[in-house]
Structure 1
Amino acid sequence: MEVRKLLRALVVLVLCVVGMLSGKSTATTFKDCYTKCFIFCMIEPSQTLCSCTTHCLKDCIFQEIQNDVHEDSDNLGFCKLGCAFSMCSAFSSKHKPNGEKVDGCVGSCSNKCTKSYTSP
């Protein structure tokens, strides 16, 4: 049992180091962010489908808007997050994050929220 935990930790560490050394930009698409986050989250035995979906939606949606200088960017982020929780969280399963479906759904939420916050 201890060996499995050590092996998991080693795999995660190696993947993190490889990711840092690859020289890729930290800017990623929502789909890539969500898929990677979800897979790494579900590796943890203490995590559930619900906790991983919630954590990854939150982290990846707010990563997208963190550089937004629009005065309503926080409100826009919370609008997108609320919409994503209610409309998009059911697409992922324990063994399949369905990043493309979640990305499309979150994109739709983003469009709806952006229209709400940019309308006069």
Structure 2
Amino acid sequence: MEMKGLLKIMVVVVMVMGGCRGDVNSFRDCYAKCFIFCMIEPNKSLCTCTTQCLKECIFPSLPSAIDQHSQNLAYCKLGCATSMCSNISKTHNPDGKNMESCVGSCSNKCTMSYSSSSP
């Protein structure tokens, strides 16, 4: 019960600071908001919330007509982030800043990988 109370307070702080404005300006904002709300839900584990929020924030809203190259880059980034960054968040701290940095390094790795393999 103590964890739920702390998470509810964190949600209020995020809302007051503007984290729930409806527009998410960065991966960090998206991830922190998603993670906090996910952890409040009953029976959600740290691993489930981390994976769910990485997916939601890497693929925020892909247009249906996205080209194959962009889609491959996004899947590469998700795979890299899931394996390299998933241990950063803790139950009481999404650590959006370090998650954003880690996911950004995945983006660079995937871009370099796909650029070097292009004909």
Q: TM-score, normalised by structure 2?
A: 0.74
RMSD over aligned Cα, in angstroms? 2.8
The TM-score normalised by the length of structure 1 is 0.74
Larger radius of gyration: 1
Determine if the alignment matches structure 1 residue 38 to structure 2 residue 35. yes
Report the number of matched residues.
104
Which structure 1 segments of 5+ residues have no match?
Answer: none
Q: Within 2, Cα distance between the matches of 1:90 and 1:27?
A: 23
Name the residue aligned to 1:86: 83
Q: What amino acid is aligned across from residue 58 of structure 1 in structure 2?
A: K
1:105 is displaced (CA, Å) by 0.3
Instruction: Report deviation, 1:66.
Output: 2.2
Q: 2:72: which partner in 1?
A: 75
Q: C-alpha distance in 1, partners of 2:62/2:102?
A: 20
Alignment of 1:97 onto 2:101? no
From 63, 66, 91, the counterpart of 2:62: 66
Compute the displacement of 1:77 (Å): 1.1
Deviations 1:70-93 (A, max 9, x none): 431111111001100110000000
Greater mean alpha carbon deviation, residues 69-78 or residues 32-41: 69-78
Question: How many angstroms apart in 2 are the aligned matches of 1:27 and 1:53?
Answer: 18
Q: Secondary structure at the match of 1:94?
A: coil
Q: Structure 2 stretches of 5 or more lacking a match?
A: none
Give the % identical residues. Answer: 56
